[in-house]
Amino acid sequence: MVADLILARGRIRTLGRTGLSPLSHLAIAGGKVVACGGREVMRLRGPRTRVVDLEGSAVLPGFNDAHAHVVYYGLTRFAADLSGVRGIDEILDRLKEHARTLKPGDWEHGMGYRTDELTERRQPHRTELDRVTGERPAFIDERGGHARVANSAALAAAGITTETPNPKGGRIGRDLNRSANGLLLESAMRLVADVQPLPGLERRVEGVLKAQELLVSRGITSVGAAVNRGFADDLRAYETLAYDGRLRMRVNEFLSWELLEAASGLGVRTGFGGSMVRAGPIKVFVDGGAERVAVRSGGGVWRTTREELRHLVARATAAGLQVAAHAIGDAAIEAMCDAVEAAGGRHLRHRVEHCTICPPDLQARLAQLGMVAVMQPVAARFGRVASTIFFPVRDRTHLAPHRGLMRAGVPVAFSSDLPVLLDPNPWPGIRVAVDDQVNGISLLGALRAYTSAGAYATFEEDVKGTLEPGMLADLQVYRGDPLGEDPNVNWEELRPRAVLLGGARVSGSL
Ligand SMILES: [Zn+2]
């Protein structure tokens, strides 16, 4: 056998059997790793083999961000960017500025603020938005994706009046006189989204390209493309890019629960597709976000009732479709366990997304039911700091219990939940997971959560996630060795200098 490319004299960590011990040479042929070891790998050099001298640079498998809202993030790039705003005035200024880019008839959309970062510590009122948006329908989304504020024109377009009841799994914010104040929580967000003109396929394609640029630059070669709603144009956007050869990352596309019947009617099973775009899990929301998570002590919002969830998981399991259930509180996680147990869905590796409040009895059940926890390590830090506000649990060791879950035998896959996290760079999360005083895990464990565990979650652990021979040559090359002796690495700023997908360069230079 002759290699197409040999990476020589590096510090190559396969994260497979050899774990973190660096090997010096890696050979690639036909898009796959064909050898990894020492100097003997040079025997695969032929007359056309390109040899790159790494001069001690580190190489890792490409990251797998198991849950990132690719299209949604991309679309927000065309909206008013509200990230980092410190007050309602600033939100209004940015909306005003952004409105200059809009045509008559366009809706205005802003996104990325957080109420707890505003000096007012409250959501804006619709009349405040009206001051700058006028007659144009407009709404703004909080960064967590679970709260929205609409202006008066958007509420009117949606037909929301004093009499409109709260939708199931959602809430309409109201003034003392019962008139809607603009705030829409959880499923109530749909009331305005459903009447807004939808972005078309072309916009979605542009959005994916913007998200891809960001993800690939962070060393992410595989992404679980999370969705909140079902749009056929999302899948079409990835397919279009893959067909044109413009897709530079592997996409596992979630299918909204609304598409369950359509997918099973077509015979689409989880994993359908190729190595670039494949049909992923059916996404369903069990509880809400922030203070609306469903905990055993009561309260929270149930976006899907226990009964509905049991039905949905049974239908999906029968159709060969994995389910990815958004469940943050222990009551929601328990409901998902009950549903998987009733469905006999062990073989489908059903997933719990977030899995934030997860005490030991549920950790054991997840393991027993063959389920996967898809978590956001940076959110864990936030969750623990904010736990007194958001999470009414006494024992903080049960918050984001990476260590407990892993010890119980639950595969834990890490993710950014982009744009909840505005930068999908995995390194700060890896550091947080390792340095965590309560639930800290090993560096190797954290790196595997961002690589092979994501591959396991999509049934691709034999295909990618490590740099062992036979695996896809999806990898990232660094400048120097960030995992070496230097204790002063700036993890927030750390970027690979080159990223390869199937042995071909998709970012940076070698
Ligand atoms: Zn999400």
pLDDT band at 381 (very low <50, low <70, confident <90, very high): low
How buried is 81 (Cβ within 10 angstroms: 0-12 exposed, 13-18 middle, 19+ buried)?
middle
8 A C-beta contact, residue 279 and residue 255: yes
Q: What is the DSSP string of 378-413?
A: HHHHHHHHSHHHH---S-GGGBS-HHHHHHHT--EE
Please tell me the predicted confidence (pLDDT) of residue 102: 94
Please tell me the predicted confidence (pLDDT) of residue 306: 97
Mean pLDDT of 194-208: 93
Mean pLDDT of 398-403: 91
Cα(453) to ligand 1 centroid in Å equals 18
Cα(67) to ligand 1 centroid in Å equals 6
Sheet holding 351-354: strands in order across? 63-68, 220-225, 250-256, 277-285, 323-327, 351-354, 372-375, 412-414
Q: What is the DSSP string of 158-212?
A: TT--TTPPPPTTEEEEE-TTS-EEEEEEEGGGHHHHTTSPPP-HHHHHHHHHHHH
Cα(129) to ligand 1 centroid in Å equals 26
Please tell me the predicted confidence (pLDDT) of residue 96: 97
Please tell me the predicted confidence (pLDDT) of residue 386: 52
The percent of residues above 70 in pLDDT, for the chain, comes to 97
Cα(157) to ligand 1 centroid in Å equals 27
**CA 356 to CA 348: how far, in whole Å?**
21
Of 375, 478, 379, 475, nearest in space to 422 by CA = 379
Cα(365) to ligand 1 centroid in Å equals 23
Q: Say which residues have a Cβ less than 8 Å from residue 446's Cβ, sequence separation at least 6.
A: 377, 414, 429, 430, 433, 434
Cα(226) to ligand 1 centroid in Å equals 6
8 A C-beta contact, residue 503 and residue 32: yes
Return the CATH number of the domain spanning residue range 5-62+469-508. Answer: 2.30.40.10
pLDDT band at 395 (very low <50, low <70, confident <90, very high): low
Helices (H), 269-348: 306-318, 330-343
pLDDT band at 437 (very low <50, low <70, confident <90, very high): confident
For the chain, helix (H) and strand (E) counts, in that order, are 17, 23
83-193, CATH topology level: Diaminopimelate Epimerase; Chain A, domain 1 (3.10.310)
pLDDT band at 11 (very low <50, low <70, confident <90, very high): very high
Pairing of strands 475-477, 498-501: antiparallel
Threshold 0.85, pTM exceeds: yes
Please tell me the predicted confidence (pLDDT) of residue 299: 85
Cα(496) to ligand 1 centroid in Å equals 25
**CA 290 to CA 294: how far, in whole Å?**
10
Cα(495) to ligand 1 centroid in Å equals 24
Please tell me the predicted confidence (pLDDT) of residue 378: 87
Using DSSP, state whether 237 is helix, strand or coil.
helix
Q: Say which residues have a Cβ less than 8 Å from residue 245's Cβ, sequence separation at least 6.
A: none
130: which 2 tokens? 């009206």
Q: Say which residues have a Cβ less than 8 Å from residue 485's Cβ, sequence separation at least 6.
A: none
Cα(480) to ligand 1 centroid in Å equals 34
Residues measured by CB to lie within 5 Å of ligand 1, the ion: 226, 417
Of 373, 295, 375, nearest in space to 329 by CA = 295
Asked whether the predicted pLDDT for residue 327 surpasses 70, the reply is yes
Cα(417) to ligand 1 centroid in Å equals 5
Comparing 292 with 272, the larger pLDDT belongs to 272
Please tell me the predicted confidence (pLDDT) of residue 471: 98
Asked whether the predicted pLDDT for residue 73 surpasses 70, the reply is yes
pLDDT tens digit sequence for 443-478: 999 999 999 999 999 999 999 999 999 999 999 999
Mean pLDDT of 65-92: 94
Please tell me the predicted confidence (pLDDT) of residue 422: 84
Break the chain down into helix, strand, coil percent, rounded to 5.
Answer: 35, 25, 45
463: which 2 tokens? 């295909």
Asked whether the predicted pLDDT for residue 384 surpasses 60, the reply is no
Cα(68) to ligand 1 centroid in Å equals 6
Please tell me the predicted confidence (pLDDT) of residue 228: 82
Cα(69) to ligand 1 centroid in Å equals 6
pLDDT tens digit sequence for 16-46: 999 999 999 999 999 999 999 999 999 999 9
Please tell me the predicted confidence (pLDDT) of residue 399: 87
pLDDT tens digit sequence for 115-161: 999 999 999 999 999 999 999 999 999 987 889 999 999 999 999 99
Average confidence score pLDDT of the chain: 94
Mean pLDDT of 85-95: 97
- From 144-148, 290-294, 367-371, 432-436, the region with the lowest mean pLDDT: 290-294
pLDDT tens digit sequence for 228-272: 887 889 999 999 999 999 999 999 999 999 999 999 999 999 999
Cα(144) to ligand 1 centroid in Å equals 8
- Domain 201-457: state its class: alpha beta
8 A C-beta contact, residue 228 and residue 255: no
Cα(132) to ligand 1 centroid in Å equals 30
Task: List beta partners, residue 52.
Answer: 7
Cα(386) to ligand 1 centroid in Å equals 19
Comparing 298 with 314, the larger pLDDT belongs to 314
Cα(289) to ligand 1 centroid in Å equals 10
Task: List beta partners, residue 142.
Answer: 113
Q: Where do the structural domains in the chain lie, given as residue ranges?
A: 5-62+469-508, 83-193, 201-457
